[in-house]
Amino acid sequence: MPNRRGFTEMGHRLIACCTAEGKPIGVAVIDLDSFKSVNDRFGHAMGDAVLKRFARVAQASLRTNDVIGRIGGEEFAILLHGSDPVASFAIIERIRRSFQAEAEFIEGVPVRATLCAGVAGASTMVSMESLLKDADIALYRAKNGGRNREQTFTPLAASDGTITQIA
């Protein structure tokens, strides 16, 4: 799985491709819940096993044109080729449910790892930074609402001309 630099390079190409094709692009920022406590309770080898399990589950749920990368310790980002917010949410929900099931027990140990995700998207040319910022806002809303969940960021023009966020 690519690191932040590899993700960014592939992501810029995917954004350009979606723009050229006139297709939307979805994005998700994912954070593994309480990952520090996994390392503290079970050791760093188990933490590594959880990261590998997530990577396997996520990659199995994505299409060949999607891009995923590890952008921080236990934080990942995914760009979804041609996906509107509803389709993106469904893909991330599938990953969340699969990971929860697959990480209930790892090597016979009751790890019960879960994740939170923020989902966003765009239908016109947009920067990688803007996409990740929107998904990050949604991620923090998800985390504030509890663990093991995802949240969608949707900008809408309010009647007074300001931008509001709904989910």
pLDDT at 164: 40
Biggest CA-to-CA distance, the chain = 56
Long-range pairs for 38-44: beta carbons < 8 A, 24 or more residues apart: 38/111, 38/113, 42/109, 42/111
Active site residue 150: no
Using one digit for the tens of pLDDT, what is the confidence trace for 1-15? 999 999 999 999 999
Q: Over pLDDT 70: what percentage of the chain?
A: 92
pLDDT at 166: 42
Catalytic residue among 9, 74, 75, 129: 74
Q: Which class does domain 4-166 fall in?
A: alpha beta
Using one digit for the tens of pLDDT, what is the confidence trace for 63-77? 999 999 999 999 999
Is 157's pLDDT higher than 60? no
Coil, helix or strand at residue 123: coil
pLDDT at 67: 98
Can you tell me the distance from the alpha carbon of 26 to that of 84, in angstroms, rounded to the nearest whole number? 6
Q: Where are the domains of the chain?
A: 4-166
Mean pLDDT of 131-154: 93
Using one digit for the tens of pLDDT, what is the confidence trace for 94-115? 999 999 999 999 999 999 999 9
Instruction: Name the nearest CA neighbour of 131 among 142, 139, 140, 119.
Output: 119
The chain-wide mean pLDDT, for the chain, equals: 91
Contacts of 156 (CB under 8 A, 6+ apart): 163, 164, 165, 166
Can you tell me the distance from the alpha carbon of 89 to that of 46, in angstroms, rounded to the nearest whole number? 29
Contact 153, 137 (CB under 8 A): yes
pLDDT at 135: 96
